[in-house]
A and B are shown apart, each in its own frame.
Chain A
Amino acid sequence: MSGLAMPKPDDATMRRRDEIVADMRIIVPGEGVVDAENSMRAFESDGLTAYRQLPLVVVLPETVAQVSRVLKYCNDRNIRVVPRGSGTSLSGGALPLEDAVLLVMSRFNRILEIDFPNRAVVAQPGVTNLGITTAVEQEGFYYAPDPSSQIACSIGGNVAENSGGVHCLKYGLTANNVLGIEMVLMNGEVVRLGGRHLDSEGYDLLGVMTGSEGLLGVVTEVTVRILKTPETARALLIGFPTSEQGGQCVADIIGAGIIPGGMEMMDRPAIHAAEDFVHAGYPLDVEALLIVELDGPGVEVDHLIGLVEAIAYKNGSTTCRISQSEQERLSFWAGRKAAFPAVGRISPDYYCMDGTIPRKELPRVLAGMRELSEKYGLGVANVFHAGDGNLHPLILYDANVPGELDKAESFGADILRLCVKVGGVLTGEHGVGVEKRDLMPEMFNQVDLDQQMRVKCAFDPNHLLNPGKVFPQLRRCAELGRMHVHRGQVAFPDIPRF
Chain B
Amino acid sequence: MTTFTPSTPSQTLSTVQWAVAEEAPLEILGHGSKRGIGRPQQSEHTLDLSKLTGVTLYEPAELVLSARAGTPLAEIEALLAESGQQLAFEPMDYGPLLGGTPGKGTIGGVLAANLSGPRRLKAGAARDHILGISAVAGRGEAFKSGGRVVKNVTGYDLSKLMANSWGTLAVLTDVTFKVLPAAETEITLAIRGLLDDAATAAMALALGSSAEVSSAAHLPERVAARVATGQLGSDAATLLRVEGFGPSVAYRVAALKQLLGKAGPLQEIAGESSKAIWRDVRDCVPFADGTEKPVWRVSMAPSQAHQMVLTLRMQAGVSAFYDWQGGLIWLRMEAGDPEANLLRGLIRKHGGGHATLVRAAPAHRAAVPVFEPQPPHLAALSARLKAEFDPKHILNPGRMAPGSGSATLNPTTEGAAS
- What count of chain B residues pass the 8 Å CB interface test? 103
With A205-B381, A440-B155 known as contacts, the answer to whether A176 contacts B181 (CB < 8 A) is: no
B296 CB to nearest A CB, Å: 12
B160 touches A487 (CB 8 A): no
Residues of chain B with a CB closer than 8 A to A425's CB: 147, 149, 152, 154
Partner pick for B385 among A164, A175, A203, A257, CB 8 A cutoff = A203
Chain A interface, DSSP helix/strand/loop, else mixed: loop
| A2 contact set on B, CB distance < 8 A | none
Using an 8 Å CB-CB cutoff, how does the interface string of B240-256 with A read, 1 for contact, 0 for none? 00001101101110010
Query: Given A254-B63, A452-B158, are A203 and B327 neighbors across the interface (CB < 8 Å)?
Result: no
The 8 Å CB contact of A199, one of B125, B250, B387, is: B125
Residues of chain B within 8 A of A398, CB atoms compared: none
Of A202, A231, A456, the residue contacting B374 (CB under 8 A) is A202
CA distance A436 to B152 in the complex (A): 13
The answer, among A189, A207, A487, for a CB contact under 8 Å with B163, is A207
User: Are B353 and A195 in contact (CB-based, < 8 A)?
Assistant: yes
CA distance A456 to B156 in the complex (A): 9
Q: Is A402 an interface residue (CB 8 A)?
A: no
* A389 x B151 contact (CB < 8 A): yes
Contact: A210 with B157, CB < 8 Å? yes
Name A300's contact: one of B247, B299, B409 (CB within 8 Å). Answer: B247
* B377 pairs with A189, CB closer than 8 A: yes
B43 contacts across to A, CB distance below 8 A: none
Q: Which of A462-498 contact B (CB under 8 A)?
A: 470, 481, 483-492, 494-498
Stretch in contact with the other chain, from B95-103, B206-214, B269-277, B279-287:
B206-214
Q: B144-193: which have CB < 8 Å to A?
A: 144-145, 147-158, 160-161, 163-165, 169, 180-182, 184
CA of A447 to CA of B124 in the docked complex: distance in angstroms? 30
Judging by beta carbons under 8 Å apart, are A444 and B388 in contact? no
Q: Which residues of B contact A459 (CB under 8 A)?
A: 381, 384
Known contacts A202-B371, A204-B127; is-contact A118 B151 (Cβ 8 Å)? no
Answer yes or no: B345 CB below 8 A from chain A CBs. Answer: no
Q: Is B70 close to A, CB under 8 A?
A: no
Chain A count of residues within 8 A CB distance of the other chain: 109
A427 touches B251 (CB 8 A): no
Query: A255 to B161, Cβ gap below 8 A?
Result: no
Contact across chains for A201 and B128 when beta carbons are under 8 A apart: no
Residue pair B158, A118 in contact (C-beta under 8 Å): no
CB-CB < 8 A to A494: which residues of B?
Answer: 11
What distance in Å separates the Cβ of A283 from its nearest Cβ neighbour in chain B?
Answer: 26
Q: Is B14 part of the binding interface, using a Cβ–Cβ cutoff of 8 Å?
A: yes
- Asked whether A204 lies within 8 Å of B161 as measured between CB atoms, the reply is yes
Instruction: Known A176-B128, A191-B381, A198-B328; judge A491-B4 contact (CB<8 A).
Output: yes
Given A116-B204, A118-B302, A202-B382, 9 additional A-B pairs, CB 8 A: A191-B375, A207-B163, A257-B181, A299-B248, A360-B61, A452-B155, A483-B392, A495-B5, A498-B5
Contact (Cβ within 8 A) A164 B114: no
Top 4 A-B pairs ranked by shortest CB distance? A207-B160, A300-B248, A257-B181, A201-B354
- In the complex formed, the residue of A with least CB distance to B57 is A423
> Smallest distance from the beta carbon of B187 to chain A beta carbons, Å?
14
Q: Which of B7, B145, B151 contacts A388 (CB 8 A)?
A: B151
Evaluate contact between B378 and A197: CB separation under 8 angstroms.
no
* B141:A451 contact, CB within 8 angstroms: yes
By a beta-carbon cutoff of 8 Å, the part of chain B in contact with chain A is 2-7, 11, 14-15, 17-18, 20-21, 51, 59-64, 84, 114, 116, 120, 124-125, 127-128, 137, 139-145, 147-158, 160-161, 163-165, 169, 180-182, 184, 204, 207-210, 212, 244-245, 247-248, 250-252, 255, 299-303, 324, 327-328, 351-354, 356, 371-372, 374-375, 377-378, 381-382, 384-389, 391-392, 400, 409
Residue of B nearest to A252 (CB): B61
Residues 344-400 (chain A) with a chain B CB within 8 angstroms: 356-360, 385, 388-390
Q: Is the CB of B11 within 8 A of A495?
A: yes
- A402-429 vs B, CB cutoff 8 Å, 1 = contact: the mask equals 0000000000000000000001111111
Q: Report the minimum CB–CB distance from A120 to chain B (whole Å).
A: 8
How distant is the Cα of A120 from the Cα of B304 in the complex, in angstroms?
14
Distance of A421 Cα from B247 Cα, bound (Å) = 43
Q: Which residue of A lies closest to B356 (CB)?
A: A201
Other-chain residue from A172, A254, A388, A457 in contact with B61 (beta carbon distance below 8 A): A254
- A431 close to chain B: CB less than 8 A: yes
Determine if B157 and A257 form an interchain contact, defined as CB atoms under 8 angstroms apart. Answer: no
B224 vs chain A, min Cβ distance (A): 24
In the bound complex, CA of A199 to CA of B127 (Å): 9
Q: Which of B4, B204, B371, B387 contacts A497 (CB 8 A)?
A: B4
